[in-house]
Amino acid sequence: MRLTLKYGLPFVTATLTYRQKEVEVSHVLVDTGSARTAFAADVVAQIGLIPEPEDTLLTVRGVGGAEVVFTRVVDRVQVGHRIVEQLEVEIGGMDYGFEINGILGMDFLMRTGTIINLHQLQLEFPNAEM
């Protein structure tokens, strides 16, 4: 899958499925510095992925500062032809001062055995399942 460089950072498009509804999420940062995959609340609300009374709110911290998120197990996250089913993702505001609708974190990258080829600006997925 081709990486797109924006702001000097690698981005892809992902498809998120929740309760059998899909949304294509553009501007998803490929981030080996993030343990978890995350999506912007306003984007995933389109398919009914919204906070529920029983959700626990978490404060996460990173280079972009601190943010309050909730977590949810989604049916699947797909990037290119690689799919991870039943992935717990974080949902938050993602207001970092530039266009970003998600973060593809190490949870997805490790489970899929993704190789990040920066020379060719590609995400490569080995044939063997991890």
Q: Is residue 129 part of a domain?
A: no
Q: Is residue 74 part of a domain?
A: yes
43: domain CATH number is 2.40.70.10
Q: Look at residue 25 in the predicted model and tell me its pLDDT.
A: 98
**93, 67 Cβ separation under 8 angstroms:** yes
pLDDT tens per residue across span 62-100: 666 778 899 999 999 999 999 999 999 999 988 877 899
Cα→Cα distances 43→39, 49, 63, 102, Å? 8, 9, 22, 9
Q: Look at residue 58 in the predicted model and tell me its pLDDT.
A: 85
Q: Is residue 75 part of a domain?
A: yes
Q: Domain range holding 54?
A: 4-124
Q: Which one, of 16, 39, 41, lies nearest residue 28 by Cα? A: 39
Helices and strands (DSSP H and E) totals, the chain? 2, 10
Q: Look at residue 130 in the predicted model and tell me its pLDDT.
A: 43
- Cα 23 from chain centroid? 12
| pLDDT at residue 115 greater than cutoff 50 | yes
Q: Is residue 130 part of a domain?
A: no
Q: Is residue 80 part of a domain?
A: yes
pLDDT band at 14 (very low <50, low <70, confident <90, very high): very high
Residue 93, CA atoms < 13 Å, CB-side half-sphere:
12
Number of structural domains the chain divides into: 1
Q: Is residue 85 part of a domain?
A: yes
Q: Is residue 15 part of a domain?
A: yes
pLDDT tens per residue across span 15-46: 999 999 999 999 999 999 999 999 999 999 99
